[in-house]
Amino acid sequence: MALGAAAIVTQFVFLREFLSVFYGNELILGTILALWMIITGLGSMIGKRIEHISLGVIFFSLGITPLISIFFLRFIRHLIFDPGVMVNFGTFLASSAILLFPFCFIAGFTFPRLSQLSSGRRGENTIPRVYSWEALGSVIGGIVFSSILINHLSSFQILSLMAITNFLIAFAFSIREKRLAIIFLSLLCFVTGALSLIYCDLEAITRQYLFPREKLLFFKDTPYGQVTVTDRQGQINFYENGILLFSSPDYVYLEESVHYAMVRHRQPRRILVISGGFTGLTEEIMKYKSVRQVDYIELNPALTELGKVFTPKLEDPRIHVINKDARIFIKDSHQTYDVVLINLPDPQTAQINRFYTDEFFQELKSSLDRHSIVSLSLSSSADYLSKEARAFKGNIISTLKKNFTHVKVIPASKDFLLASDSPIEEKIIPLLEQKGIVNTYVNRHYIDEDLIMRRSQQIMTSVDKEVRINSDFYPLAYWRSLALWFSAFEWKPWWLLSIVILIPLFILFKSFNTISYGIFTAGLSASSLEVMILLSFQAIYGYVYQMLSIIITVFMAGLSVGALYRPNFGKWINHFACVQYGVALLSFLFFLLLMTKSIIPRSDIYPHLFFVSITFLVALLIGAQFSLASFLSPGHIVNRAAQLYGVDLIGAAIGAMLTSTLLVPVLGLPRTGLVISLLNIASGTLALWNKRNYTIQGG
């Protein structure tokens, strides 16, 4: 239980930290999860040779290594990598593997060691029992983390608390094992950890390493992301999960993001602002005397509260601040807006991509009239559009054109896209002067409208004319954005990811049989379905930060219950195959539901219950599969435990990697579910084909 709790809490903290320190997209999330499981799996398979290591040493190491890894993660980010320079994917992969290795490898070989001790004491095979207790520990750790720790403690405080717990366990084991050195170290580290929690703010000290030339004003872990505010020579910067959201004041961007759209509407009265309103956007909007109402939507309440403190631009009574997902607000709203200003980064994450999709633009049109104008922006490509940039921008422009009669590009500090069902005026300087709008930058003295028109025409003619449209469950723009991001690096990530996948497969190849293949498929399916569930939830609700811990906790609960499964009749290999078919059926059901979009919510309760239920059912089957495999696999207990645990985790790692980086972007979420279903049907059929070779193994 202690192993499971330590592993799950440390994993949650590591995922949040890596998302914050590196780029914060789902590729990074999938890669970290894959590395975590591969290293843990390899630790299990190699650890079967380490039969006599002290449990006191193990739990002392499980306590100390996460703190060291997180410290170095923050410390080296700007010590080794130049500030402001993107870390290439190869360097990220190598540094992540090094930082994850100590904890994951030790956690990996702990499972077969515990299985060996438990089975030896009871004189029977207790691998499923150990597996179930570890999963139960993960459930408890996940519940405590998501309900208490995440809301009240920082990353270092959480890890320090976990370390203190593990030091106490190490102390207890070391007394029984009579290891004086570990007894002394455990007590010393226990006292040091307790004092640091009371007197030393390691969180603030180490977080400053991430922003070396900026003054740290505020930081907080919220259910929607890790929020940080810094001051750099008078410029206030707002970060969420390590991504720079906005800077204030940025007069050029503020004026461009408002006036290019607002001035083209004859009399804008009702304005919808999606994100970024606290940076000064509302001040620019209020220059228009016709404005009667501004609905400003920000999902994370922490950002609007910070906006009121650091950039007090939200005090006008006409401004209504709404902390809700913008898409859900638009579905529920009966308002009609004249201008919609979408101030979000490029869709480099699946979360942001949902505001660039066909479904979103369809929903948005229900809140518009024929003369309404929608504005969004993409990073500027200056005077050159690479192949990746043409594909990326072409996909979003094609998606806009599917929903709006007129689409226009305004190349400026960013490439602003305007969309409307009415013709969009070409030149804005006469309109600004006619309405008496006085600006610092967007005016006759700085704007060359003839040059803007030529560059706009160049972009519209050069971008790819996409046949496929960006959608919620086929996030093509997210995929194109990643390809554009990768093009900035000399090292392409695809062959690196291939190596990460192929090395563990090569290690497993010699030991593959019907049972290990079934466990490999089960692990791959479980992690793939977890990723799909999280991405589907995100497409509907717009946030996954808090749901991540809930889904994983529910998954571990299903594993814990499923691992206790023991059939009372028939051949166990038949049950093994039937469980595989059960996973295939759930995957196919998920495919059908996504294809018909029948999980799109009509209330807040139903989709949550659906996602939680299907997660629990999948995990229940995977736990039962592991239990059956532990009795069907040949060999000594420690070898059996190490082999199955390792194969399960490596399969899960490859599933997470393939699903997040290849299957979902290329095939889309529904077809990925179909692929997983077919894979499990093949595995179940293979088990039935070879059933004569397998009988129940004793302890």
* pLDDT tens column, 353-387: 889 999 899 999 989 999 999 999 988 876 667 78
In a domain? residue 699: no
Rounded CA-CA distance 545/548 in Å is 6
Q: CB of 385 within 8 A of CB of 434?
A: no
Q: CB of 321 within 8 A of CB of 281?
A: no
99 and 13 within one domain? yes
In a domain? residue 242: no
Q: What pairs with residue 225 in β-bridges? A: 222
Average pLDDT over residues 276-287: 82
545 and 444 within one domain? no
Q: How far is CA 115 from the centre of its chain?
A: 33
- Written as six digits, the tokens of 41 are 């799996």
Task: Supply the pLDDT for residue 300.
Answer: 77
Which CATH number goes with the domain that contains 351?
Answer: 3.40.50.150
In a domain? residue 536: yes
CA neighbor of 54 nearest in space, from 161, 170, 224, 225: 170
Average pLDDT over residues 31-52: 79
* φ and ψ of 598, to 5 deg: -80, -5
Task: Supply the pLDDT for residue 86.
Answer: 61
443 and 508 within one domain? no
- Written as six digits, the tokens of 649 are 């985790």
Average pLDDT over residues 666-683: 87
Map tokens 């930058």 to a residue.
441
Q: Give 250: exposed, middle or buried? Use CB within 10 Å, 0-12, 13-18, 19+.
A: middle
SS (H, E, C) 406-446: EEEEEECCEEEEEEECCCCCCCCHHHHHHHCCCCCCCCCCC
583 and 462 within one domain? no
For the residues of 451-497, what is the DSSP string, one character each?
A: HHHHHHHHHHHHS---SSPP-SSS-HHHHHHHHHHHTTSSS-HHHHH
Report the DSSP pairing between strands 215-222 and 225-232. antiparallel
Greatest mean pLDDT among 280-284, 290-294, 432-436: 290-294
Range with the poorest average pLDDT among 179-183, 241-245, 567-571: 567-571
- Written as six digits, the tokens of 593 are 């539901």
Task: Supply the pLDDT for residue 82.
Answer: 58
CA torsion 452→455→460→462, rounded to 10°? -170
261 and 189 within one domain? no
Q: What pairs with residue 425 in β-bridges? A: none
Rounded CA-CA distance 151/157 in Å is 12
Length of the chain: 699
Task: Supply the pLDDT for residue 699.
Answer: 46
Q: CB of 351 within 8 A of CB of 225?
A: no
Write down the H helix ranges in 123-220.
Answer: 127-144, 150-152, 155-177, 180-199, 202-207
Query: Is the backbone peptide bond immediately before 665 cis, with ω within 30 degrees of 0?
Result: no
* φ and ψ of 408, to 5 deg: -135, 145
Average pLDDT over residues 84-96: 72
114 and 26 within one domain? yes
Segment 438-455, tens digit of pLDDT: 888 888 888 888 888 888
DSSP state of 597: T
Query: Residue 13: pLDDT band by 50, 70, 90 thresholds?
Result: confident
Out of 471, 501, 531, a domain closes at: 471
CA neighbor of 30 nearest in space, from 532, 618, 499: 532
168 and 36 within one domain? yes
Report the DSSP pairing between strands 235-240 and 243-248. antiparallel
Segment 517-563, tens digit of pLDDT: 888 888 889 888 888 887 777 777 666 556 667 788 888 888 888 88
Which CATH number goes with the domain that contains 496?
Answer: 1.20.1250.20
For the residues of 401-415, what is the DSSP string, one character each?
A: HHH-SEEEEEESSEE
Give yes or no for residue 118 having a pLDDT over 80: yes
CA torsion 78→81→87→89, rounded to 10°? -120
504 and 616 within one domain? yes
In a domain? residue 480: no
Provide the mean pLDDT of the chain. 80
Whole-Å CA distances, 166 to 7, 65, 163, 171, 235: 11, 11, 5, 8, 43
In a domain? residue 239: no
DSSP state of 603: S
Overall number of domains in the chain: 2
SS (H, E, C) 518-535: HHHHHHHHHHHHHHHHHH
Q: Hey, is 219 helix, strand or coil?
A: strand
180 and 253 within one domain? no
Out of 471, 506, 534, a domain closes at: 471
In a domain? residue 627: yes
Question: Which has more confidence, 158 or 485?
Answer: 158
Range with the poorest average pLDDT among 62-66, 133-137, 581-585, 605-609: 605-609
Out of 439, 471, 503, a domain closes at: 471
In a domain? residue 280: yes
Average pLDDT over residues 108-134: 85
CA neighbor of 41 nearest in space, from 96, 81, 82, 100: 100
Give yes or no for residue 415 having a pLDDT over 50: yes
Query: Residue 339: pLDDT band by 50, 70, 90 thresholds?
Result: very high
Q: At what angle do helices 637-658 and 514-541 cross, to 10 degrees?
A: 40
Rounded CA-CA distance 463/390 in Å is 4
In a domain? residue 31: yes
135 and 188 within one domain? yes
Start-to-end CA distance of the chain, whole Å, equals: 22
How many C-beta atoms surround the C-beta of residue 636 within 10 A?
A: 12
Greatest mean pLDDT among 297-301, 309-313, 571-575, 600-604: 297-301
For the residues of 316-334, what is the DSSP string, one character each?
A: STTEEEE-S-HHHHHHH--
Rounded CA-CA distance 489/86 in Å is 9
Q: How far is CA 60 from the centre of its chain?
A: 30
Helix, strand, coil percent content, the chain, rounded in steps of 5 = 65, 10, 25
Give yes or no for residue 113 having a pLDDT over 60: yes
Share of the chain above pLDDT 70, in %: 82
How many contiguous H segments (helices) and E segments (strands) does the chain have?
27, 11
Average pLDDT over residues 288-299: 90
Q: Which domain holds residue 173?
A: 2-205+492-693
546 and 450 within one domain? no
Rounded CA-CA distance 504/523 in Å is 14
589 and 533 within one domain? yes
Average pLDDT over residues 282-296: 90
Rounded CA-CA distance 350/478 in Å is 6
